[in-house]
Amino acid sequence: MEQTKQTMKIDFITEPWEHIIIDDFLSPERFEHIQDLAIQELGRFQVEGPNTFRRDKYVRYTKEDLLPEVTMDIMKLLPHREYDDLVKLNHWAIMPPNADYPTHIDNASRIHTFTFYVAPEKNLGTILCDNPSTNDNGDHGQPDKSTICEYPIEWKPNRAFVHNPRPKQWHRYRSGDTHRINLSVFYADPTKIRSHRQDFDYFID
């Protein structure tokens, strides 16, 4: 069956740091498929519960490339860290209602981060921080100075928040009064992945 053609809307934004917002990233048919998978993943979460060290978030990596539409061409739209090699990774992320993930910079192995908002219809997006801290430990550490100003990205299904993690790109997120389901896609440098991470088992071929 032929897919309905969609028109992406791409915005390049510089405040508080360079990032991209892409609306209507997938065709309606493709996005409906991803939403169906999200329902299945929510069912898994409701059985297994949170599974990260922060105890209020569920993450499940998969070797299946859930968003083959995310390519290195998108990564190259913004400046990025130097790297020796690149692998693609993706995982589901689910947060229960009223949960917080603190201010951080994505870990040092991640050259590109593509955050795709899936479900529900209404929730909270990502909050970008204008924060002068330079104490990033390369693995989701928190800043040692106060944030000057915050720039919220509105939650919208089929929207992508795209950035290439670099110094001072502090951000945080939280869920509203319902579960928050997104897909995260990364291009990562395997030589910089820390040994405690599960990423090594989920490189996409």
pTM, full prediction: 0.95
* 86's tokens: 């690149």
pLDDT value for 56? 85
pLDDT band at 5; cut points 50, 70, 90:
low
**Hey, which CATH number is domain 9-202, 3.40.50.150, 3.40.630.10, 1.20.120.140, 2.60.120.620?**
2.60.120.620
Task: Convert the pLDDT of each residue in 182-199 to its tens digit.
Answer: 999 999 999 999 998 899
Whole-angstrom CA distances from 159 to 4, 22, 110 are: 17, 6, 20
Mean pLDDT in residue range 85-106 = 97
Nearest to 184 by CA among 153, 160, 154: 160
**32 in Cβ contact with 89 (< 8 Å):** no
The Cα angle at residue 170 between residues 131 and 164, in degrees rounded to 5? 130
The average pLDDT across 90-111 equals: 96
What's the pLDDT at 156? 98
Domain boundaries, the chain: 9-202
